[in-house]
Amino acid sequence: MIITVITFGQNEKSNSLEEITVIPPMFPGTEMIWQGKDVKSIDDFLANNIEFPQKSVNGRLQGTEVIQFVVTPKGELTDFNVINSVCSEIDKEVIRVLEVELNLLW
């Protein structure tokens, strides 16, 4: 009877993992002065830059618009997804402001 055993292993022992620093995206907030307006939060930014469609103003629509998006490592906003919609026109306007006005500011 012949038994063959082949093994592979590490030459050096290591009890540590490589350190990885993860920095989440942050809205620049008070560090950013936008068109002469002090912007403290993304809510302030959106309130100052969204032009409400006439249909929503005339219809007196109210509600909370929730948009999900991804911030890439380069600071770009992508993959917009409407979680809670007030109306389709407001959806488009909020995404437009985020895409055009806010892109690369993260």
Q: Residue 5 pLDDT > 70, yes or no?
A: no
Determine, yes or no, domain membership for 52.
Answer: yes
Determine, yes or no, domain membership for 48.
Answer: yes
Most confidently modeled range among 12-21, 26-35, 93-102:
93-102
**Residue in the structure block whose two tokens are 């995206």:** 25
Number of domains, the chain: 1
Residues 6+ apart with CB under 8 A from 62: 86
Determine, yes or no, domain membership for 2.
Answer: no
* Residue-by-residue DSSP string for 71-82: E-TTS-EEEEEE
Half-sphere exposure for 23 (CA within 13 Å, toward CB):
6
Determine, yes or no, domain membership for 58.
Answer: yes
- Mean pLDDT over all residues of the chain? 76
pLDDT digits (tens, 9 = 90+) for 47-59: 888 888 787 777 7
Could you tell me whether strands 37-38 and 77-84 are parallel, antiparallel, or unpaired per DSSP bridges?
unpaired
CB 27 within 8 Å of CB 40: no
Please give the radius of gyration of the chain, using alpha carbons only, rounded to the nearest integer.
24
Q: Residue 106 pLDDT > 70, yes or no?
A: no
pTM of the predicted model over 0.85 = no
Provide the pLDDT confidence category of residue 13 given band limits of 50, 70 and 90: low
pLDDT digits (tens, 9 = 90+) for 70-89: 888 877 889 999 999 988 88
